[in-house]
Structure 1
Amino acid sequence: MTRVGFLYPGSSAEDDYKAFEDLLGGDVELPLVHTPLSDDLHVLERLLEAGGEASLVKGAQEIAAMDVEATVWACTGGGFVYGWEGTRRQVERVRQATGGPASSTSCAFVHALIRLRLPRVAIAATYPDEISQRFVEFLSEAGVSVVSVASHGIATAAEVAYLDPDEVLDFVISNDHPRAEAVLVPDTALHSAHLIEPLEALLGKTVLTANQVSVWEGLRLAGRTEPRATGPGMLFRAGSAAVTSLLPD
């Protein structure tokens, strides 16, 4: 059994991780520690607060006692708003606090694109446009080319968690771009475990969601790099053995 821990802000789509456990075939456990969140607004001030060092270190210290093999900071916005170097520093603090391998959802998107060799992406974001543009800047710093970005403009994580699956499908599909090699859906408040396969079938290309890449990244850090036929999406079927991490050792 492989155990990967997740630092998850507030409460919205945490049950998505149980869905991933089931989809991965029962040999993976994905325990969560909820980090503090004063409110779940998708605004810069709140996302910076969510990703603050004190919250991350406290959560990491809790998860260190849970016998996990790796830890992921599972909040896309609370990472990329700090920029590439700031996100790397977050990961380093989590690694120091847990004493084991660590990463974040934002970094996981980049590593997934490296593994799949897909440098051009479209973004279908649930966030307001100001926050979506921060994700574009983060990806650009990491060498990813964003050919289009769409913002759903949803104000809170709670609203994202209650989106109807058909609405999510429609939003992502309608915001694909012909030049994009993958579509990124960057919000861990979004339930996505059971949407990846239908989205990829409808679009005919890779779809990467926040909770999906978080789980994949955690397994990669835990040494589970083999392709997984039971994993959702092209990403899990590709495995992660060929990834060269951009994070500090």
Structure 2
Amino acid sequence: MNYPIPPDAKRLYPAGVRFLGDGVGLSGGMTIDGYEEAIPRLIPAAERLAKQGAQVISFFGSSITFYKGANFNEELTQKIIKATGLPATTQSNGLVDGLRVANAKRVAVATAYTDIVTERLKIFLQEHGFDVTFAKGLGYERIPEGGATQEILFKLGADAYAKSNKADALVISCGALRTLDLIVPLENETKVPVVSSTPHGLMNGVRMLGISPRAKGFGMVFEKV
């Protein structure tokens, strides 16, 4: 997991789970070069978390795990398992897990990313069997101050869904976006499940511990899982 621990963790799971954090950093921003530069720091970070007593390791950061497609995401997961001997997952797996819980087939996508990175997410979701009917990003390599307010993100998600030809679910992707309090308002607006990087990445990791990841008040997927 990239540090610090997102505040969503304790709001979703206030008891019964201890969250540990370490980081790979992303000094090059949300760009292909930035991801390539950061990836070599993954295994040392995972090994440090294992030494701290982690029982499951989730590599947080959606775009850094989906940018080279489904096979690369799986390779990263397998490398963590091999290095640590622990079960492992990624934040991108959380998006897939959430969409499968929602029983979605056709998906609208809203991201923080540039068109290049948003297109990589579209491909990643298609590789997992989802039909992406519309995708739109905010165009950021780095999120500027005030560039991802709750108002901006709500409008981005609502607009993406409105142009999606009635998709089955809405994805909001980027681990740095604060989306937990937008899930229910966007579900009320769109009438479909909303799946988002950090909340559903946490859900996916907790599920791998063998603990129920269900949480009330944070949308359809958390109520159903």
TM-score by length of 2: 0.91
**3-state SS of 2:136 partner:** strand
Give 1:24's match in structure 2, choosing from 13, 23, 31. Answer: 13
Instruction: Please name the residue that 2:101 is paired with.
Output: 115
**3-state SS of 1:35 partner:** coil
Displacement after TM superposition at 1:82 (Å)? 1.6
Displacement after TM superposition at 1:163 (Å)? 1.9
Is it true that 1:172 corresponds to 2:160 in the alignment?
A: no
Q: Which moved more, 1:99-108 or 1:20-29?
A: 20-29
Is it true that 1:34 corresponds to 2:23 in the alignment?
A: yes
**3-state SS of 2:22 partner:** strand
Displacement after TM superposition at 1:162 (Å)? 5.5
Give 1:147's match in structure 2, choosing from 110, 113, 133. Answer: 133
The whole-number CA distance in structure 1 between the counterparts of 2:9 and 2:187 is 17
Instruction: Please name the residue that 2:121 is paired with.
Output: 135
Q: Deviations over 1:78-120 (max 9, x none)?
A: 1111211111000011122222111111122112222221111
Instruction: Please name the residue that 1:197 is paired with.
Output: 184
The whole-number CA distance in structure 1 between the counterparts of 2:219 and 2:146 is 21
Name structure 1 gaps, 5 residues minimum.
Answer: 1-5, 240-249
Instruction: Please name the residue that 1:183 is paired with.
Output: 170
The whole-number CA distance in structure 2 between the counterparts of 1:45 and 1:227 is 37
Q: Is the 8 A contact 2:26 2:35 kept in 1?
A: no
Displacement after TM superposition at 1:69 (Å)? 2.2
Overall identity of the aligned pairs, in %: 22
Q: Is the 8 A contact 1:129 1:153 kept in 2?
A: yes
Give 2:220's match in structure 1, choosing from 225, 234, 245. Answer: 234
Deviating above 4 A after TM superposition, structure 1's stretches of 4 or more consecutive aligned residues are none
Displacement after TM superposition at 1:226 (Å)? 5.6
Q: Which amino acid aligns with 2:158?
A: I
